[in-house]
């Protein structure tokens, strides 16, 4: 593994110098280098742009400058592929978190609800809302994807699984409930040329159809996710930080991105019903309310009836309540305007922040639940 990384870094920096040559023979003094998987990794990363052939005492490097990655996104893609090929076992373990997770048994007569998480999330993020839908009698499946890679690539992964599901259950009624960026992944399939059919309803819950400026802070979510995986997943490997993606999804989420322009230039799928569920509360207000409530908790119970303390207690309680009930024109990361989508009339606004749309808070079920159940039962 260490040999592979050292070899790979050396070749990575030498490629520009070799770009003027069609073929270069690099002597190898340590035969272990040729036994490592770095040769396969470079070939997987660069394709015809840079191809290695291992010999007993040398490595033959063939370079085609015209086919080498030239822009930042292409370079990131090559880095991700190289890392996955150098650490195949770690990549395989990580891939277990991605794809479609179906119930043990599927009844093709009953609807199947497929749920998608958002940026830097995982399938577990959908479980709280999914449990409510399962309790209501629906079969719930969960789709996971690399949260940091380009959204279009996640859409391609989703498309493969959905086409397979449709082939397996061609008569099944499939509903999609997608939170945040997951809605863009779902739209990439539903509104794309590879759509296989079978989708009855698409729920876009807090989806930034016009982007979100909060995407520039996505690195904080990425760090939080990796720390969580490191602490809870025994299969975690440092290479996951790279193979998960190098921030391309955050770039795609920025307002006016090339990805969003291309996606929104498409028309809506006419045989699919759309429902948009957006929140009008900021998560910042909820955290502020929790802070105020914490300060109020510092007042001793026996002192709450005393003059002065009684007024302070009432003031703090009132402030916390107002913060919790405060509404605006966004759920925090996603504005109501960004959540809207041309051609979709079923637009529902609920008093919740971005997380509260799909997670239970203060003993209440996810805010999007009632709207989803109402539309599914119609």
Helix (H) or strand (E) holding 184: helix 181-190
* pLDDT for 323: 46
Range of the domain at 267: 99-219+247-281+330-377
Contact between 206 and 214 (Cβ < 8 Å): no
Tokens of 154: 């996640």
Co-location of 61 and 144 in the same domain = no
Co-location of 186 and 292 in the same domain = no
Task: Kindly state whether residue 93 falls inside one of the protein's structural domains.
Answer: no
Contact between 179 and 253 (Cβ < 8 Å): no
Co-location of 8 and 64 in the same domain = yes
Residue (of 54, 49, 23, 61) closest to 37 by Cα position: 54
Co-location of 10 and 107 in the same domain = no
How far is residue 186's CA from residue 200's CA, in Å, rounded to a whole number? 13
Co-location of 30 and 53 in the same domain = yes
Co-location of 274 and 303 in the same domain = no
Q: What is the pLDDT of residues 144-183, one digit of tens each?
A: 999 899 999 999 999 999 999 999 999 999 999 999 999 9
Co-location of 300 and 272 in the same domain = no
Which residues, 6+ apart, have CB-to-CB distance to 208 below 8 Å? 180, 181, 184, 215, 253, 333, 334, 338, 339
Domain count, the chain: 3
- Beta carbons within 10 angstroms of residue 57's beta carbon: 10
Task: Kindly state whether residue 159 falls inside one of the protein's structural domains.
Answer: yes
Co-location of 154 and 194 in the same domain = yes
> Tens digit of pLDDT per residue, the chain (378 long)?
444 445 454 555 555 554 455 777 777 666 655 556 777 777 777 777 777 777 777 777 788 777 777 788 888 888 898 888 888 899 999 999 999 999 999 999 899 999 999 998 899 999 999 999 999 999 999 999 998 999 999 999 999 999 999 999 999 999 999 999 999 999 999 999 999 999 999 999 999 999 998 877 777 667 777 787 888 888 889 999 899 999 899 999 999 999 999 999 999 999 999 999 999 987 555 554 556 467 556 667 766 676 665 666 666 566 555 545 555 788 889 999 999 999 999 999 999 999 999 999 888 999 999 999 999 998
* pLDDT for 308: 63
């Amino acid at each position: 593994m260490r040999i592979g990384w050292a070899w790979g870094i050396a070749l990575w920096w030498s490629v520009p110098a070799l770009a003027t040559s069609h073929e270069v023979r690099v002597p190898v003094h340590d035969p272990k280098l040729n036994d490592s998987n770095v040769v396969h990794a470079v070939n997987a990363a660069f394709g015809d742009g840079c191809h290695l052939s291992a010999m007993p005492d040398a490595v033959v490097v063939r370079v085609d400058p015209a086919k080498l990655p030239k822009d930042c996104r292409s370079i990131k893609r090559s880095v991700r592929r190289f890392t996955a090929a150098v650490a195949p076992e770690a990549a395989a373990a990580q891939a277990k978190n991605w794809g479609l997770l179906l119930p043990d048994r599927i009844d093709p007569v009953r609807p199947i609800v497929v749920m998608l998480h958002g940026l830097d999330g995982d399938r577990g993020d959908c479980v709280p809302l999914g449990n409510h839908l399962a309790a209501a009698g629906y079969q719930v499946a969960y789709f996971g994807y690399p949260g940091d890679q380009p959204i279009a690539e996640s859409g391609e992964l989703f498309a493969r699984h959905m086409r397979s599901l449709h082939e397996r259950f061609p008569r099944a009624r499939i509903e999609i409930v997608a939170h945040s960026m997951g809605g863009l992944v779902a739209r990439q399939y539903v509104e794309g040329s590879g759509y296989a059919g079978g989708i009855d309803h698409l729920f876009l819950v807090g989806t930034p159809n016009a982007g979100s400026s909060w995407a520039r802070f996505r690195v904080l979510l990425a760090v939080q996710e990796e720390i969580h995986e490191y602490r809870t997943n025994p299969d975690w490997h440092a290479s996951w930080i790279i193979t998960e993606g190098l921030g391309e999804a955050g770039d795609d989420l920025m307002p006016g991105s090339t990805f969003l322009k291309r996606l929104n230039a498409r028309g809506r799928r006419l045989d699919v019903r759309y429902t948009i569920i957006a929140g009008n509360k900021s998560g910042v207000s909820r955290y502020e309310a929790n802070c105020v409530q914490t300060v109020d908790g510092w007042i001793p119970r026996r002192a709450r009836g005393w003059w002065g303390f009684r007024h302070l207690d009432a003031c703090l309680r009132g402030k916390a309540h107002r913060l919790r009930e405060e509404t605006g024109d966004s759920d925090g990361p996603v504005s109501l305007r960004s959540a809207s989508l041309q051609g979709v009339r079923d637009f529902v606004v609920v008093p919740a922040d971005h997380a509260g749309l799909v997670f239970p808070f203060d003993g209440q079920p996810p805010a999007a639940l009632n709207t989803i159940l109402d539309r599914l039962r119609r």
